[in-house]
Structure 1
Amino acid sequence: MIRLSILLFFTLLACTSSPEPVTHFYDWKKELNQLSSSPLSVKKTVILDGSTEVIDSVQVDLKKEWALFEEADLNKPAYALSYRDESTQGLVQYTLKKGEDLPVRSFKIELDSLGRPSTVAFEISSENLIYSTSKTLTMHINAGRVVSYTISGSQALRWFSTPTRYSVRGVALY
């Protein structure tokens, strides 16, 4: 009888569906997955410490190219109380509260008249005793399609080097 009860208990546990993850903030990860679902060819400009390279018409792996944009997703349980909601009509904006130490410093999405993202801007930075990094990510979107994106920033070992500055700009070719 006890074995049967235990078996029924575990069977019921296995059959229950897991709840959807709680979304405290704008669901940027869902939006980014939708934007990156179709292949995209871009004209790419890469700048590293002043040296520029232009790559014409390259089809990019958007999951890899936009990995840093995914880093800006705020819907992690530990982040739930760490940001001030400064959103207004047509603008989704979160800013890291004073005293908090999380990588995403600011999160800003301007929405078009249909409630879709039109301009996205994130500031991400982190530092410790060894290094410091800062990144600014922007994306321009028109009618649900990416027009351009920029990833720029710097990184440095604290006492051993001058900062390495970089920028990647992609302009969609439709």
Structure 2
Amino acid sequence: MKLKYLISSLTLLWWLAACTDISNDRDSNEPAYFPIKEFTEVAVEKAYGKKLVKEVNINGQKDRTTTSPTEEEWLQELSFFLDADINRPALAQSYQTQRSESTLVHELKEGEKGKVKKMTVKYLEGNVKEVSFRSETKNPFYTSQTRGVLIFHSESGKLDQYSVENIQEVVFSRPNKVIISASIIE
């Protein structure tokens, strides 16, 4: 009887230790793909307090503004990049990755479902120089294609410019094209 109790106790302790090790390993793992959401949030923190010169072109009608966005407004400005995050458990095996010294590319595998079709990160001397993505949403009545680019200053590493191009097509309507081009100034 004591032997059964001892074996059961040791088995339970071994099992608990094994579970603890697994959860610790999972916490220490790096994201499977480039962490665009976290990277954009850091860029927002660095851009806070700076001026934003933005041109918005909606179907050929241009509007140019200069503002000093709050941190919340910066997050709204860069929401397309926050939404382009592909580090989700459901997408863990959905992208093929190609690496070189100057480029990292995540491309959606054929047959996989994901809004972001391609993400490219360009490096210059080990620092991120540019992050771009291409996404697409389709259903029988609606199509939306978005391209976005974040460009970083080569010396300071801070966000220098960004652009977003979005084309929306709804059945029985003319396509709607929005292009946002912006520069960040000290």
Sort the TM-score into its range (normalised by shorter chain).
Answer: 0.7 to 0.9
Match of 2:61 in 1: 51
How many matched pairs? Answer: 157
Q: CA deviation at 1:101?
A: 2.3
Indicate whether 1:147 and 2:155 are aligned: no
Partner Cα separation in structure 1 for residue 102 and residue 30 of structure 2: 23
How far is 1:116 from its partner?
2.3
Equivalent residues of 1:22, 1:75 under 8 A apart: no
Letter in 1 for 2:103: L
Provide the residue aligned with 1:108 in structure 2. 120
Residue by residue over 1:88-127, the C-alpha shift from the partner in whole angstroms, topping out at 9 and shown as x without a partner, is: 11211111111122110100010121x2210111001110
- Residues 11-57 of structure 1: CA deviation (Å, up to 9, x unaligned): x9xxx8885376111222221111111313111100001000111x3
C-alpha distance after superposition, 1:38-96 (max 9, x if no partner): 313111100001000111x3123211110110111111011111111012112111111
- Higher Cα Rg, which structure: 2
**Residue correspondence of structure 1 range 76-91 to structure 2 within 5 A:** 76-91=88-103
Q: Find the counterpart in structure 2 of residue 3 from structure 1.
A: none
1:122 and 2:133 correspond: yes
1:134 matched to 2:142? The reply is no
Match of 1:26 among 16, 31, 34: 34
Q: How does 1:6-25 map to 2 (within 5 A)?
A: 20=27, 23-25=31-33
Q: Tell me the distance in 2 between the aligned counterparts of 1:95 and 1:33.
A: 23
Q: Between Structure 1 and Structure 2, which shows a larger proportion of helix residues?
A: 2
30-39 or 104-113, which deviates more: 30-39
Which of the residues 36, 40, 43 maps onto 2:44? 36
CA RMSD of aligned residues (A): 1.9
**Structure 1: unaligned runs, 5 residues or longer:** 1-11
TM-score with structure 1 length normalisation? Answer: 0.83
